[in-house]
Amino acid sequence: MRVYVLNGPNLGRLGTRQVDVYGATSYADLVTSCESTGRELGLDVVVRQTDAEHELIGWLHAAADEQAAVVLNPAAWSHYSIAVRDACALLRAPLVEVHISNIHAREEFRHHSVVSAVATGVICGLGVDGYRLALHHLATRLSQGV
């Protein structure tokens, strides 16, 4: 079962960007963790990151065409990109939105995500562990045919 783990802008800077907010885990370590967790769960995990909105939208379209599940950290696009939200709405398999920080405890403009309304579930504030939890959730759902 294929699962895409898609990451939006600035997430490639994990480990060096606002460590007090996003933690010290590097993006490379996040990729390794997601792939390792996927193997343990019998999932074919593909991890990608982009700072280009059109590229993320293309990956979401491909996931929709493949009927693949998605773990998505849309980063800043969460708060204003109707284009990303609409691409998420095309998905035919579960979508788990993940945020490393607790967006509800940060600046007011981060409190709302336009993506959440079309997501199966949302995990925020649990650091990079949120990705592992999302993959475990998807493995359970997909094994149950949901």
Identify which has the larger pLDDT, 19 or 114.
Answer: 114
Locate the domains of the chain by residue range: 2-143
**134: its two tokens:** 């999302």
pLDDT score for 27? 95
List, by residue number, the catalytic residues: 22, 99
Is the confidence at residue 76, as pLDDT, over 80? yes
Name residue 38's amino acid. G
Q: Write the burial class of residue 106 (CB in 10 Å: 0-12 exposed, 13-18 middle, 19+ buried).
A: middle
What is the distance between the alpha carbons of residues 90 and 76, in angstroms, rounded to a whole number?
A: 20
Detail the residues annotated as belonging to a binding site for substrate.
Answer: 73, 79, 86, 100-101, 110
Average pLDDT in the 117-141 region?
97
pLDDT at 79: 92
64-75 average pLDDT score: 98
pLDDT in tens, 9-61: 999 998 888 777 766 789 999 999 999 999 999 999 999 999 999 999 999 99
**What is the rounded distance in angstroms from the CA atom of residue 133 to the CA atom of residue 128?**
9
To 10 degrees, what angle do helices 53-66 and 82-89 make? 10
Q: 125 versus 14: which is more confidently predicted?
A: 125
Nearest CA to 138 out of 81, 98, 87 is that of 98
Task: Indicate if the pLDDT at residue 111 is higher than 90.
Answer: no
Homologous superfamily in CATH for domain 2-143:
Dehydroquinase, class II (3.40.50.9100)
Given a cut of 90, whether residue 109 has pLDDT beyond it is no
Known binding site: residues?
73, 79, 86, 100-101, 110
Whole-number average pLDDT of the chain? 93
